[in-house]
Chains A and B, each alone.
Chain A
């Protein structure tokens, strides 16, 4: 009964299985290949594409000052966000783990920033960072720091963008690590307690090794998302002042849709992709094995 069943349905199975995969790959990767292809052309919107080989990439790496700046900004932004989110997330996750009372209330409240539309959260923080009426400056004035101009200052704007991302995604790290902590077996912890280890040492030497796969997952997703980040940066600062918060995705967008340099923008897109690819391949093997482990 089984064998006949399988043969007659095999084609149907493949069809059902492949349809979404094919669709997703065409729609997802097709445009990407298109973009890579056009990165080798001198192509402005409306002009006829002219093949120029690697010239766009050469321009990107040699004569374009904005590219290295964007690269630097992307790197700084990602590093700052990931480090703070990891540290803060670990702290909060641990606190959640140690305190049993009202846990569901805390997790509910902590989950809120994650689901807020990123574009809207950019606007919310734009209000909060307002130099005259924003609450950030108000609270800072309570501790004696007066009137900082956040969004009109290059460094201030960068910090604002970093704060926005931290606000939105630290709960993610916290909740992931909290889930991991609740899943750790109690025996090693009890053993450490019996052996007289302090709270801190227990944390470092017993809990963190258990959390390692989750930490890697968090780092992976945060790095990918920070490099891709566009929504809230665009609504919070628009890339500015000037180009001081124009990370790579913003640079890509500006090149293509403000200056209409499709070919050149595609080269930037190509570079961004290679960057993402290398970063993720380094972590991918670990992440992959974690994901496949059911």
Chain B
């Protein structure tokens, strides 16, 4: 009985995803049939239409470059910081305060942050550039990186580090040679989670890009403009935009809740 309710609820959440998946492979003639046709003969024509309508590769490359670089840089900047506030060094109160300010960034409405940047970038020439997006996305990712890695570092027992120090390692060596390999798994999870968040970002990309450095989610809106009636191609575009993130999500699903709640819930 409980299973029945659970299955029904899960069906509600899964249905739209399956809908998009099915429609993206569906021939144009049955795409808007009522009642919906579920047994279809798959075709790739929609995908071809979706990728050749606009310069799909350009937006794809934009998304990939911006995501990888901003997450990479955020990791470089944030991991040492996370290590330093993971409670190993004296002042626990100061560590918490610093952690707090970083967390507060979560509360900012993205539009508000992007407006001054819009004006600034316009005068500096960074409007509609990948670099411009990367700079602001680093700020987006830093809180996640610092909080997540802080959590991971706190799980590493101090004994390992102390043993290394007794054996003569400098603190930097301890970090590079002992702590980092152990936390590689956490680093990977953090990286994938941040990539998920960055890939999906729409608000700031909408404001700060024109056509040149536009990322895929923003392009989705443009797709709607011309493909709104072409459900097949629209769904194909949607699948293409979302599939990397679906893959990321499935890989890091164990850390998803932890990331979204800033480590408060260890899913």
Using CB atoms and an 8 Å cutoff, list the residues of chain A in contact with chain B: 5, 9, 13, 16-17, 19-21, 23-25, 27-32, 34-35, 38, 45, 88, 91-92, 95-96, 98-99, 101, 106-121, 123-128, 132-133, 135, 138, 167, 170-172, 175-176, 179-180, 214, 217, 221, 224, 227-228, 230-231, 234-235, 249, 252-253, 256-257, 262, 265-266, 269, 272-273, 276-277, 280, 287-288, 290-292, 294
Where chain A touches its partner, the secondary structure class is helix
Query: Which B residues lie within 8 Å of A230 (CB)?
Result: 109-111, 202-203
Query: Contact at B246–A115, with CB atoms within 8 Å?
Result: yes
Q: How many residues of B contact A (CB 8 A)?
A: 96
Query: Contact at A167–B113, with CB atoms within 8 Å?
Result: no
Rounded to whole angstroms, the CA-CA distance of A162 and B105 in the bound complex is 25
Query: Which A residues lie within 8 Å of B29 (CB)?
Result: none
Rounded to whole angstroms, the CA-CA distance of A288 and B263 in the bound complex is 12
Using CB atoms and an 8 Å cutoff, list the residues of chain B in contact with chain A: 2-3, 5-6, 9-10, 12-17, 19-20, 23, 32, 34-36, 77-78, 80-81, 84-85, 89, 96, 98-103, 105-117, 119-120, 135-136, 138-139, 142-143, 146, 151, 154, 170-172, 196, 199-200, 202-203, 206-207, 216-218, 220-221, 223-224, 231, 234-235, 238, 241-242, 245-246, 248-250, 253, 256-257, 260-267
> Can you list 22 A-B contacts (CB < 8 A)?
A17-B98, A20-B78, A24-B142, A31-B112, A31-B120, A32-B112, A34-B116, A91-B5, A107-B253, A109-B13, A111-B249, A112-B246, A119-B218, A135-B15, A138-B35, A167-B13, A179-B267, A180-B265, A214-B265, A266-B115, A269-B112, A291-B264
Where chain B touches its partner, the secondary structure class is helix
Rounded to whole angstroms, the CA-CA distance of A253 and B109 in the bound complex is 11
Among B23, B172, B249, B265, which residue has its beta carbon within 8 angstroms of that of A112? B249
Query: Contact at B231–A117, with CB atoms within 8 Å?
Result: no
Q: How far is the CB of B29 from chain A (nearest CB, A)?
A: 13
Among A138, A221, A294, which residue has its beta carbon within 8 angstroms of that of B36? A138
Q: What 8 A-B pairs come out closest when comparing CB atoms?
A: A115-B249, A31-B116, A133-B32, A34-B116, A27-B139, A231-B202, A119-B202, A20-B77
